[in-house]
Amino acid sequence: MSKLDHILKNNIDWVNSIKAEKVDFFEGLAEQQTPDYLWIGCSDSRIPATQLMGLMPGDVFVHRNIANMVVHADFNALSVIHYAVEYLKVKHIIVCGHYGCGGVRCALSDDRFGTVDSWIQHIKDVKHLHREELSKLEGVAKEDRLCELNTMEQVQNVCKSPPVQDAWERGQELHVHAWIYGINDGKIQNLQHSISGPV
């Protein structure tokens, strides 16, 4: 017996609970996906994108990495954005950061962590960009603020990406939002930094 059998059992229970609500739910989804949202979030296990928004399979296209970064040379993230915008025609891209982000915490320390340091360097760049504001803060306040600033910077990076610029040039409806999630209360806050066209 596999140590993961309980997960496979959970899966069957989950399938049955969805079918109890809508018997042909999975058959419908097999035809096509038409999500309205692209979620760009942190890989953190405490932030299950679809679940915490109360949405269902088929509702959200998802990209996750350490500290919800959108790096210009990251073809993985760019391919996801391209596919979501040009083919799935999502109407909203949500970059959702979170308080207590381990990636952001690493960026605030001078310790070396190994391979992940190259990735963390992108968060350190954001820290450097906002060094004046951050220098006035300490401890958790500083960490929380960098989580917010990093999320808003990634929104800027989404907006500057070729697929998003092209979509706006075509006149396609597309809104990019910055949200932040509280792992201690499960609540999402809107950082009021939404962008709906070229600036």
Summarize as ranges the residues that interact with Co ion (CB under 5 A).
42, 44, 101
Contact 41/80 with Cβ under 8 angstroms?
A: no
Instruction: Give first-to-last CA distance, the chain, whole Å.
Output: 58
160: region left, alpha or beta (phi > 0 left; psi from -120 to 50 alpha):
alpha
Taking the complex as a whole, the smallest distance from the CB of residue 42 to Co ion amounts, in Å, to: 3
Query: Is 92 in the active site?
Result: no
Query: Is 82 in the active site?
Result: no
Measured from the CB atom, the residue of 70 and 101 that comes closer to Co ion is: 101
Measured from the CB atom, the residue of 98 and 177 that comes closer to Co ion is: 98
Measured from the CB atom, the residue of 84 and 101 that comes closer to Co ion is: 101
CA pair distance 20, 110, nearest whole angstrom = 52
If we measure between CA atoms, which residue out of 125, 36, 19 comes closest to residue 84?
Answer: 36
Q: Which of 6, 46, 128, 175 is catalytic?
A: 46
Taking the complex as a whole, the smallest distance from the CB of residue 97 to Co ion amounts, in Å, to: 7
Query: Is 46 in the active site?
Result: yes
Query: Is 63 in the active site?
Result: no
Q: Which of 63, 98, 122, 177 is catalytic?
A: 98
CA pair distance 176, 60, nearest whole angstrom = 14
Measured from the CB atom, the residue of 158 and 164 that comes closer to Co ion is: 158
Taking the complex as a whole, the smallest distance from the CB of residue 119 to Co ion amounts, in Å, to: 12
Taking the complex as a whole, the smallest distance from the CB of residue 101 to Co ion amounts, in Å, to: 3
Neighbours of 122 (CB within 10 A): 22
CA pair distance 178, 183, nearest whole angstrom = 16
Query: Is 42 in the active site?
Result: yes
Which pair of structure tokens corresponds to residue 92?
A: 């909203």
Q: Which of 63, 74, 96, 101 is catalytic?
A: 101
- Give the catalytic positions in this structure: 42, 44, 46, 98, 101
